[in-house]
Structure 1
Amino acid sequence: MPTVTAAPDEDPPGRRARSRRNGEGSIRQRKDGRWEARVWVFSTDGSEVRRSVYGDSWDEAHEAMIKLQSDKMAGVRIPASADTVGDYLAYWLSQIAEPRVRPSTMASYRWLITTYVLPYLGSKKLARLRPADIRTFLNRLKGVCQCCALGKDKRRVERGQAARCCALTPRQCCEGFLSDGSVRYAHRLVRAALQDAIVDELIATNPARHLRISHRYRPKFTPWSADEARSFLKVAREDRWYALYSVALALGLRRGEALGLRWVDVDLIDNVISIRRTLQRVNGQLTNGPVKTESSDRKVGVPAALARVLTLHKAEQARERKIAKKWTDHGMVFTTKLGTPIEPRNLNRHFDQLCERAGVPRIRFHDLRHSCATILYDQGVPIENIQDVLGHSSPTITKTIYVEATRKIQRDAVDRLDFLFDD
């Protein structure tokens, strides 16, 4: 007996035919045997478009149609953009991100998007991007050797240097994988860009917003103790940049904040320093720009001993200005012997050498900021006051990221339970 199927735009056998209202949608069977339901919905640009959903049976197509109609009644709009993720990110960088972030942040955005995001997501349609695509992208980042991805070893060979890993024959991967922090940064960047796409009504939902990722990130560092900080400053006392290290350690300034400090921001009468500018190398150029965040724009009191150090440094700088054959005055507190800004990378190298001479643990220059917070906390300074010194927006940031001394407080607390145990 032949199988009876419904004619196009008709109800299936056994169902009572009825007239359909305008916009209710229709269901028909295609030549390939599948069922197609078509419904008029609204797109993100305000236009009304006809959208098709499919099923292997009439019931499956009908269920998909009901969901589409339900979303329509709830105000959900269908994405209208046909752009790829790469097209949108190019627009996002130039029109949305660049006007609202610092040049250094913008440079890191461009580098991360060009190096990692575009190879995996750039060719995908923005409107069809799904959470599974973002999850696959992040998982792949964890397994990509940075040296292989960026061709570092190949460029070393082009400069006449010996191959180390990826350019060897046979190839030997150095396994320079991205850290959890870098993967987390990529996730945050993609999530922020897609959120702006919702504001522009290019997509209806953010596929990266509610995505749960398995990696956890917390900066790892070992700050100096008070004794180690004193040992370092004792060795640095005869160094030309002694005042620079003193300011960074005593006030917890970031490297760019210390190098961008100007004399007009230093009040040696009331002993107050205003942190307003930062010096960084961006796209090959040393650039003066605003501080990292709104809360980073702050005034910090200067201890009397540090004020004397700065006074002596100012006098020494005046002497260097007189004997220099060519002095370029930028009005900056810390300069080269010609008055020009200090190259941040040169400061890092100089700092490493001083650490070795002082016999203290080698840390990053930025860890002087962590050391400042830890020493202040160890001296009994409240978290809220340390927050003001460092320019954080929340004391939670200060406590969870910067203060190693909290571990000592925890140990002191649990040590009170020693009486429970015999010798």
Structure 2
Amino acid sequence: MTTNPRKKRTRRANGQGSVYQRSSDNLWVGAAYVLMPDGTRRRKVITGKTEAIVTTKLRNLQSKSDQGIPAEATNWTMEAFLHHWLEYVVKPSRKPKTHQGYEVVARVHIIPVLGRKKLHKLNGADTRMFMKRVANTCLCCLHGYDKRRGPKAKCCALGRCCHKVPSDRLIEQIHSVLRNALQAAVREELVQRNVAKLVQVRGATYEVNRGLNVDQARKLRVATENNRLKALYTLALYLGLRRGELLGLRWEDIDLDDKFLEVRQTLQRVDGELRAVTPKTRRSRRTVPLIDLCVDDLREHRECQGRERKSAGERWVETGYVFTTEIGTPIEPDNLRRNWYPLRVAAGLDDVRLHDLRHSCVTLLLGLGVPPHIVQAIVGHANLDVTMTIYAHTSLEEMRQALGKLGEHLN
């Protein structure tokens, strides 16, 4: 005759799981279907000495499950948590390019070193030592780190370290990804505090004054006169549009009669495919007026595109984009360099990047005395600090004039 292993049972409503006392050892047992790390729901069993303990544990487990926190999260390693964070927190809420960048940093730099560490046991000392190792390890060894054996000293083992230490920008990115991930763990109540915030890293410095001056801008205009993408460089220089915004621009976004265009999307290559995604920030989605010079270049470009469509015949792919290849397909963001490099050489601008045309628009407008908030609206900066701190600079001549005014006033 078999005996029932369940000695006592507490009645619970549907969906609340079950709680009972086991006859074999008198322990109380709770069971309920909860969310697992792979996204499925499975039956989870917990035990305790009293009914109250088990009921509380079960309630907490179900509460976290309702919030989207998997049942095994309390015992996660850093690697398991980072994968969860990237897939279920970053991917749904951030731009594809942002998710891709975070994933690379986590996979290449963080997981090989901290991946086996328990999330709830990570402390400030661990984070500090990790960031110190990142800052003091040459790139060859940093990218060749092995989980079990430590750094694969690709060059240092042979006694000839390359001494190419990570840039301040890379160090800042690694710290930022770790800090953001741990902050998500705090919000989900997996850890009590964000230990990455206890560690400070030196902020990256950004070069300023990389924009063109008036004479250089005029030389560029001459160099682009016979280029098939002349209108693209005109919009970059006069409106400060980003590369992805230029390549994602469609004819339906432009009104040449009323003279304005709308920045509605940006073209990016993510995970091996070109994607039209929403603009970088909320302020990046904007309406910008067109001056006559921009309108004239766009009309000329539309006529040129019509001739290319006719010449391509059946090979033409209608995409609706303003700037395309000679058969109508979107232009690869990286391939735009092939068109830009010969132009900058012809204009005598050997060290100027395409993105510096955006810088030029900002600095030239500010130099003309245009109010910073107007410049911010034109180029779509997220906030005014970006406009003023990164791009605005004072020339030696401007300082000389200011001091001259002071001298005249005092004399």
* Runs of at least 4 residues off by over 6 Å: 419-422
- The within-5 A match list for 1:280-291 is 280-291=268-279
Q: What amino acid does structure 2 have at the position aligned with 1:101?
A: R
- 1:302 pairs with one of 279, 290, 313: 290
Q: Who is 1:176 aligned against? A: 164
Q: Who is 2:323 aligned against? A: 334
Distance in 2, Cα, partners of 1:171 & 1:102: 42
Distance in 2, Cα, partners of 1:209 & 1:337: 51
Q: Who is 1:257 aligned against? A: 245
TM norm structure 2: 0.76
Distance in 2, Cα, partners of 1:130 & 1:247: 49
Cα offset for 1:231? 0.6
Q: What amino acid does structure 1 have at the position aligned with 2:125?
A: A
Q: Who is 2:220 aligned against? A: 232
Helix, strand or coil: the match of 1:294? coil
- 2:120 pairs with one of 106, 124, 127: 127
1:380 aligns with 2:369: yes
Q: Who is 2:103 aligned against? A: 110
Helix, strand or coil: the match of 2:197? coil
Distance in 1, Cα, partners of 2:261 & 2:319: 18
Cα offset for 1:182? 1.6
Cα offset for 1:307? 0.8
- The within-5 A match list for 1:167-246 is 170=158, 172-213=160-201, 215-221=202-208, 222-246=210-234
The 1:362/1:421 distance shift into structure 2, 3 A limit, reads farther
Q: What amino acid does structure 1 have at the position aligned with 2:341?
A: D
- 1:97 pairs with one of 65, 90, 96: 90
Helix, strand or coil: the match of 2:287? strand
Distance in 2, Cα, partners of 1:46 & 1:175: 55
Give the count of matched residue pairs.
335
Cα offset for 1:293? 1.0
Q: What amino acid does structure 2 have at the position aligned with 1:271?
A: K
Q: Pick the structure with greater CA Rg.
A: 1
1:141–1:178 contact (8 Å) kept in structure 2 = yes
Cα offset for 1:408? 5.9
Q: What amino acid does structure 2 have at the position aligned with 1:106?
A: H
Any unmatched runs of 5+ in structure 1? 1-42, 49-79, 152-164
TM norm structure 1: 0.73
Q: Who is 2:267 aligned against? A: 279
Distance in 1, Cα, partners of 2:211 & 2:94: 29
1:352–1:362 contact (8 Å) kept in structure 2 = no
Q: Who is 1:84 aligned against? A: 77
Helix, strand or coil: the match of 2:108? helix
Q: Who is 1:311 aligned against? A: 299
Q: Who is 1:68 aligned against? A: none
The 1:362/1:420 distance shift into structure 2, 3 A limit, reads same
2:141–2:156 contact (8 Å) kept in structure 1 = no
2:109–2:143 contact (8 Å) kept in structure 1 = no
2:223–2:343 contact (8 Å) kept in structure 1 = yes
Cα offset for 1:410? 4.6
Q: What amino acid does structure 2 have at the position aligned with 1:353?
A: P
Helix, strand or coil: the match of 1:209? helix
Distance in 2, Cα, partners of 1:412 & 1:123: 60
Cα offset for 1:134? 1.6
Root mean square deviation of aligned Cα? 2.7
Percent identity, please.
38
